[in-house]
Amino acid sequence: MSLFEIKERIESIVKELNEHNYRYYVLAQPTLSDFEYDKKLEELARLEKEYPEYLDPESPTIKVGGYITKEFETVKHKWPMLSLGNTYNEQDLKDFDERVRKVIGNDFEYVCELKFDGLSISLSYENGKLMRAITRGDGTQGDDVTNNVKTIRSIPKTIKASGYPESFDIRGEVFMHQAAFERLNNERIDNNEIAFANPRNFASGTLKMQDSTVVAKRPLDCFLYFLYTEKYSYKTHWESLEAVKNWGFHVCEHTKLCQNIDHVLKFIHYWEEHRFGLSYDIDGIVIKVNNLSQQQELGFTAKSPRWAISYKYKAQEVETILEKVTYQVGRTGAVTPVANLRPVLLAGTIVKRATLHNSNEIKRLDLHLGDTVLVEKGGEIIPKIISVNTSKRDNSALRVLYPEVCPECKTPLIRKEGEAVHYCPNDEECPPQIVGKIQHFIGRKAMNIDGLGDETIDAFFKKGFIVHISDLYTLYEKEDLLKQIDRFGEKSISNMLEGIEKSKQMPFEKVLFGLGIRYVGETVAKKLAAYFKNIDSLMNASFEELVTVEEIGERIAESLIEYFKDQKHKVQIEQLRSHGLQFESVQKMVDLESTKLEGKSFIISGVFENYSRDELKDIIEANSGKIVSSISPKLNFLVAGDNMGPAKLDKATKLQIPIISDDDLIKMLQ
């Protein structure tokens, strides 16, 4: 290929993979198979290595994130981020229209935009490069969240088109699509973490996280909707939106130019009915005078522009009857109450059930069977009971009492101090816990066993074929019995057994995650496997050793110690080991740069400004140093960053172990 063709090929692959990434991570609508994606990524990496002059700064081969922000800098907005006046009725809109006409006459248009339920952001660009991203804050100043915003795939870090001003700000809304929210929230629930109430809270919480590597894994999106610059070359807001769209910014396709207030009201009515068909939440419509000169003429009040207003939809609520309360037992033993309702139409869907969260919520509502309850969709997604109409309560109605024993296995429930959730501790014999654990074990993010699904696991359990995870690896002995299961032919059985056998090659971190230990999610499992190297070291680790590991707090450490203390869990691990599963990390070969740290041992603790802990670990090992897991008199150095645990610091001080910074470590290598 010629150089021109190579450049075009690189640009084409970058565009295709970035589009796929956006659709996969943000919209949950992938366009390529994993195999196709990997092959294209390999080709791109090879071409970029051979022709580095054509490397695109937004190439999917470049690592996104990795910055640790200890605290966000407060930055003053160049143009204040004013809030809009809100209204919930049409007469207020007509009054707004009259006020506008009195100032600028009758010759004007409106631009109507969906009002996204997200987090407002201001992006500053210089010479086509994203320099800063600032939250709304108090409207005058906000937090600098640039590192986190740079992980959002739909926000250009560098503008590739032409015609943009040398310096400009652009305003928008960061949000999360419903499909992504549900997927991530379900993962939090599976890991026994507190679920977010709605996508807005999830997006807001994500944008204020300190580690941009974590932010990069959470699929945020952003619509841009207003341009600010010193030198305007556009006469209308509509023209500026068309321009920023051409520069590569994500502008909502539903924005509409309206000739008068009647057209505005039609737009409002349309989206009040159709908003539930969108992949993201909106809570109203924003109406702006289109002409920029007319905007200037209308001016501002102290808090908001006189040329714009927002119409907010009322949260949809509906009354229905609470028929009964049932209780779901999850794979971790958490018992969640669920309100079973008389079916009712709400926000475009038939609602039959609503979450009650925990026993505290039942007490707060003072629920009785047969109550008339007011239900709304929290964040337009999760139905919830917000109140009870006690005036309609039957005097003979029975109060809803949270159970004292597990609804499935009758084991007394426990509730740990400081937690709102009740648990069934009978994890080895409680049916939904057993089935849930095995379903978790075979999942894509754990052992990824082909040929097995949740329904099959449920059927196998009911038939008595499996009662433990380890039983999966003896299914080949029951091949004749498996054929008796409906729709489970020889081909299906063959594929399943092949998938089970193949899973024995999955790395230690996947096996550890698959065990389903409470609070040990995918990321925590990776950290533990990388640190302890094998299951025996992990099982024998003390509380102090566990909390030494990055991201392992007291709650996770306590859960691990409690899990490995149970002899039944140890038996299961030994059985899995005997079947050939990987309980030891494969040691990666380290390219030695020097022997300057040979014979010296290190522990790394805390947060560092210039390096991640993994990067410091790689530096030490690349220079022949050794990373150890616990503080002892034999330890040579404690590399200490901010926010390190006081217990580790006290122990190192008592043992007179040298405490050094990351800068000190680098100086040792010079």
Distance separating alpha carbons of residues 446 and 432, to the nearest angstrom: 19
Which ranges of 114-211 would DSSP assign to H, the alpha helix?
146-149, 178-190, 199-207
Percentage helix, strand, coil for the chain under 3-state DSSP, each rounded to 5: 40, 20, 40
Looking at residue 255, its amino acid is T
Which residues does 210 contact at the CB level (< 8 Å), separation at least 6? 68, 69, 70, 607
Say if CB 257 and CB 290 are below 8 A apart: yes
Looking at residue 382, its amino acid is I
DSSP string, 59-91: -TTS-----B-SSPPEEE-SS--PPPPEESSHH
Report CA 303 to chain centroid distance, whole Å.
33
- The structure tokens listed for 221 are 């999106």
Distance separating alpha carbons of residues 453 and 504, to the nearest angstrom: 18
Distance separating alpha carbons of residues 468 and 506, to the nearest angstrom: 19
As a three-state string, the secondary structure of 444-486 is CCCCCCCCCCHHHHHHHHHHCCCCCHHHHHHHHHHHHHHCCCC
Ramachandran sector of residue 606 (left: φ over 0; alpha: ψ -120 to 50; beta: rest): left
Q: 601-605 and 422-423: which strand pairing?
A: unpaired
Enumerate the active-site residues. Answer: 115
E strand or H helix that includes residue 568? helix 567-578
Q: 626-627 and 601-605: which strand pairing?
A: parallel
Which of 603-637 are b and which e, b meaning 16 or more Cβ less than 10 Å from the residue's Cβ?
bbbbbbeebbbeebbbbbbebbbebebebeeebbb
Burial (CB < 10 A; 0-12, 13-18, 19+), residue 646, is exposed
Say if CB 322 and CB 398 are below 8 A apart: no
Q: 601-605 and 382-388: which strand pairing?
A: unpaired
Looking at residue 545, its amino acid is E
Say if CB 433 and CB 331 are below 8 A apart: yes
